[in-house]
Amino acid sequence: MARSNPGLLLGLLLLRLNWCLAVDGGGAEEGGGVFPVVVSTWPFREAVRAAWDVVKTGGAGGSAVDAVVAGCSACEELRCDGTVGPGGSPDEKGETTLDALIMNGKTMEIGAVAAMRYVKDAIMAAKLVMEHTGHTLLVGEKATSFAISMGLAGPTNLSSPESIEKWSNWRQNNCQPNFWKNVAPAGNCGPYHPINIPKDPVKSAVWENQGITCQEWLQNDNLLEPTSSHFNSVNRHNHDTISMAVIDKMGHVAVGTSTNGATFKIPGRNTTRSFLLICISTSEILWVGDGPIPGSSAYGDDEVGACGATGDGDIMMRFLPCYQVVESMRLGMEPRDAAVDAISRIARKYPDFVGAVFALNKKGVHAGACHGWTFQYSVRNSSMQDVEVITVTP
């Protein structure tokens, strides 16, 4: 039998060791790609650091889901830009309400709350919906009752001296600007009535069995899209969401959002200026924003990657941009191309809209695209010493 060559054996051993290290360590592409990774809309550095502190530990205690909760909770506590958590963005009645969503990209489970009053821990409430119910979204007073019954603190006043002062000043300015359109009186605080709206004989028939509340509400034409040409100053300080994506050491994806919505929004309508009409029984009518709607403000899938969105959600919600981004990456697009494509689809129909998305593929490669403003998103991965902020121009 031929004798073994010690040098050859040592070389093979080192080659094998190097291959294992390359696979286990993960590879970087296009300036990103080292696991774990945390990405968030805007320069919310403390939120990203909070998520990173969880996910960097790895194992069961460092899951992507737990990291998203930690990051969004930090932003709620810090009241990031006044648009996340309690104490900011009063509606036109002066009240602050909250929306949040969390999605597990491994199981595709989702939990969300919308127009939630009196409970400040929105992302935790969303996680409780995901983990302890068979539902996806709870809204309004019922979301509040659920959150408190599951142990979250409440009822709590979500307003602050700053939010009340902002609302009082707005009232003194005849409630201008606002989100109403096609209504009179146009120059003050209402109550508002529709103008130039023809009667629709279909409405009563459609809602005949829904009770007098829904029927009367529709006949009064309060079903007016709350996107007013009088409110064009969309910016991150009056009108935003934290949208966060995390890939943990196991390669699992999670996304989440939290917001207190657009300043002076129509009551019941939260998050980045979007709405979904819900008539619950005959007693509660709500507008639900895009923040807790999967595929609009955020979406994630272990097999592909993740997306987060921000901006004029009243427009963006119609296109489900984050679902579009993830599905484009599934079909082979790189993150940058997928992000640009999703934004371009909206801009072709609404050239004046303001918004942005970030895209993150399952390799950890990230990119962003925007329209109508300069967008920034924050990133941390294991190749970085601290959070880095990426600036994206239209």
Element (H, E) at 112: strand 110-116
CA distances from 36 to 126, 168, 376, 384 (A): 23, 45, 20, 11
The strand pairing partners of 104, in sequence order, are: 254
Tokens of 378: 């924050």
CA angle, 76 as apex, 74 and 78 as ends, to 5°? Answer: 70
Interatomic CA distance for residues 336 and 360, integer angstroms: 9
Helix, strand or coil for residue 212?
Answer: helix
Interatomic CA distance for residues 90 and 261, integer angstroms: 8
Query: Are 183 and 191 spatial neighbours (Cβ–Cβ below 8 Å)?
Result: no
Rg over alpha carbons for the chain, rounded to the nearest Å, is 23
Query: Are 147 and 119 spatial neighbours (Cβ–Cβ below 8 Å)?
Result: yes
Give catalytic status of residue 282 as yes or no.
no
Interatomic CA distance for residues 392 and 394, integer angstroms: 7
Helix, strand or coil for residue 7?
Answer: helix
Query: Are 72 and 113 spatial neighbours (Cβ–Cβ below 8 Å)?
Result: no
Q: Which of 97, 241, 259, 272 is catalytic?
A: 241
Tokens of 325: 């981004």
Query: Parallel, antiparallel, or unpaired: how do β-strands 183-184 and 193-194 relate?
Result: antiparallel
Instruction: Please report the sign of the dihedral spanned by the C-alpha atoms of residue 31, residue 306, residue 330, residue 393.
Output: negative
Give the catalytic positions in this structure. 241
